[in-house]
């Protein structure tokens, strides 16, 4: 029995070291957003926590992209492996911010990763979240009104 343990200990340690190395590596995240059919640039922000996603502050990356043929594409480089969510909108009015009506509903196209939706207000981080591994990832979603 002791011999068996000594054989598996180095193996489990090697697996653990490999797993730790995989989670710490940087990866590229390719984001493709469709539905950007009107005028204006697409603003997107990548979040790594529920708190930053809910407050729309403290994102880990942000891009402003000029759409082409109804689609906007951005690549976030050297992103640490982990869980992320993306929020985006198309600045149709050219103000640099998402315009809303009197009750807070967006007047411009907007969207979230996983095409996450919620009945009232934005979706939760968990609905929009995805996992980026060391090899990188591509995500796509659609803007809606």
Q: Was domain 26-142 assigned CATH 3.20.20.80?
A: no
Instruction: Say what the pLDDT of residue 107 is.
Output: 95
Instruction: Say what the pLDDT of residue 119 is.
Output: 80
Nearest to 113 by CA among 138, 80, 92: 138
Distances from the Cα of 127 to the Cαs of 3, 17, 50, 76, 99, in angstroms?
47, 31, 10, 21, 23
Mean pLDDT by 10 residues, the chain (145 residues): 39 36 73 96 98 94 97 96 97 96 93 92 95 92 94
Instruction: Say what the pLDDT of residue 39 is.
Output: 93
Spans of all domains in the chain? 26-142
pTM for the full predicted model: 0.81
Q: Which two tokens stand for residue 84?
A: 């992320």
Distances from the Cα of 26 to the Cαs of 45, 78, 79, 126, 133, in angstroms?
18, 5, 5, 22, 8
């Amino acid at each position: 029995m002791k011999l068996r343990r000594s054989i598996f200990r180095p193996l489990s340690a090697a697996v653990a070291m490999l797993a730790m190395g995989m989670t710490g590596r940087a990866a590229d995240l390719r984001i493709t957003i469709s539905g950007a059919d009107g005028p204006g640039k697409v603003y997107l922000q990548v979040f790594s926590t529920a708190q930053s996603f809910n407050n729309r502050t403290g994102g880990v990356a942000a891009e402003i992209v000029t759409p082409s043929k109804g689609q906007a594409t951005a690549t976030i480089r050297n992103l640490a492996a982990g869980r992320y969510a993306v929020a985006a909108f198309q600045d149709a009015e050219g103000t640099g911010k998402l315009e809303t009506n009197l009750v807070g509903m967006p007047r411009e196209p907007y969207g979230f990763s996983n095409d996450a939706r919620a009945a009232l207000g934005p979706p939760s981080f968990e609905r929009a979240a995805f996992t980026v591994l060391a090899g990188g990832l591509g995500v796509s979603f659609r803007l809606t009104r």
